[in-house]
Structure 1
């Protein structure tokens, strides 16, 4: 059974931290939702996947490391001398700074607080628009749609290029494509990314950290990221999909 702990939520970690820099891996992952339906793809596994994206970003930045716990379980710990400045990342980093914890425990503890602050960042950037309407003509409701800045289309095209056309990815894009695959939602993108055996084989390579000779990430970074992504796969496999 996955151990659960309360972890402080990053309530103020919205666009204030991210506006001056590039979008985070977790933001990009959340942006790849289904705009035609007005909802987020893979809500049933979303919190695990977003937590995995935050850990992957921390891993790519060298701010966390993985290890082995009792009974051979995979643990993650903070690199004490290099805390992140982004408060959303800081909440996850501080959770593993207390002591090394199992990756599954970290995903379950830190994931539930991530969706809203990440969505707020996307809205602030103009990547996503919230639309209010009356459900059944009576009840106030909110739908989501892609913004007009084209960032989602551009991001999806990059993922497609990696998975379909075999373009060698950056480490960050490799992690993003692997997380989309690991979440179990990649078949929902069939219109843009065909669900074929070749695409599955390519995604499996990325999931295992085989990113290509030109993906300029140290071997240890690839190992950390692949370990985190594979733990997301394990978590997503046992959760209901919606």
Structure 2
């Protein structure tokens, strides 16, 4: 499973098949998850002072196949965008990504594609859980880190950082008694040295992009009302 797939499973309700967070934060976080995965794989990096790319910009290190079609498609995109600010690429990384991931998870039997029509006219697809065993393992790992204080591995820390960027941790870990402590622990992990500097920088870029997107969306809604 990709980090983006784990994130998507956590952010969709198993019974209703609907997302528990809104757009565009969810899609930007999925794009960020792909960026983080490619960084962990050593395919891309965030430039530092002295690199041939301006500090803080995206640097592509290796364009060879990752073995995953979705990652390879995004890596090819990034290869054309080297030298740009990572947060400015999340929209392009997230384009069609959610549907690709949902469809693939349904093909694997993890989710079910439940097609229906709203008011008998407008087609809609919901994605309830069909086989929740993997998601249960991910949730167990999250609970161990966030509620019991165990040290996270890189993938679990990345998930927590991505959930924290959307302020979605309490929506995912719903059985925690102390929600404030849960948020503090998630923030602590997101800001800690759980991975290489480039990966943590990628998480910061996701946080900035998600925050900006949510503010822009809220402002647009207020203006139209």
Matched, 1:114 2:97: yes
Counterpart position of 2:140: 157
Which residue, 12, 25, 37 being the options, matches 2:3?
A: 25
Whichever structure has more helix as a proportion of its residues is 2
**Deviation sequence 1:38-62 (CA, Å, 0-9, x none):** 2123241122101110111111111
- The whole-number CA distance in structure 2 between the counterparts of 1:231 and 1:130 is 32
Whole-angstrom CA distance in 1 between matches of 2:47 and 2:16: 40
1:61 aligned residue (14, 18, 41) = 41
The residue number in structure 1 matching 2:222 is: none
1:166 aligns with 149
Paired residues of 1:30 and 1:50 also in contact (CA < 8 A) = yes
Distance (Å, rounded) in 1 between the aligned partners of 2:122 and 2:204: 41
Corresponding pairs, count: 209
Q: Is the 8 A contact 2:113 2:125 kept in 1?
A: yes
Report how far residue 226 of structure 1 moved: 1.1
Counterpart CA distance in 2 for 1:181 and 1:200 is 8
CA deviations on 1:185-222 (whole Å, 9 max, x unpaired) are 223225234562322222123212433xxxxxxxxx52
Q: Does 1:40 align with 2:19?
A: yes
CA distance in 2, matches of 1:136, 1:41: 22
Query: In structure 1, how many angstroms separate the alpha carbons of the residues matched to 2:100 and 2:121?
Result: 28
- Structure 1, 140-149 or 24-33: larger mean CA deviation: 140-149
Instruction: Label 1:137 to 1:157 Cα distance change in 2 as closer, same or farther (>3 A).
Output: same
Q: Distance in 2 between matches of 1:222 and 1:233?
A: 17
Structure 1 unaligned regions, length at least 5: 1-22, 212-220
Q: Secondary structure at the match of 1:132?
A: strand
Could you say which residue in structure 2 is the equivalent of 1:94?
Answer: 76
1:87 is displaced (CA, Å) by: 2.3
| Larger fraction in strand | 1
Cα distance, 1:139 vs structure 2: 5.0
- With the length of structure 2 as denominator, give the TM-score of the two structures: 0.81
Partner of 1:80: 62
SS of the aligned residue for 2:127 comes to: strand
Unpaired runs of 5+ in structure 2?
219-225
Determine if contact 1:186/1:195 at 8 Å carries over to the other structure. Answer: no
RMSD: 2.5
Q: What is the Cα deviation at residue 73 of structure 1?
A: 6.8
Alignment pair present for 1:197 and 2:180: yes
Deviation at 1:103, TM superposition (A): 0.6
TM-score, normalised with respect to structure 1: 0.76
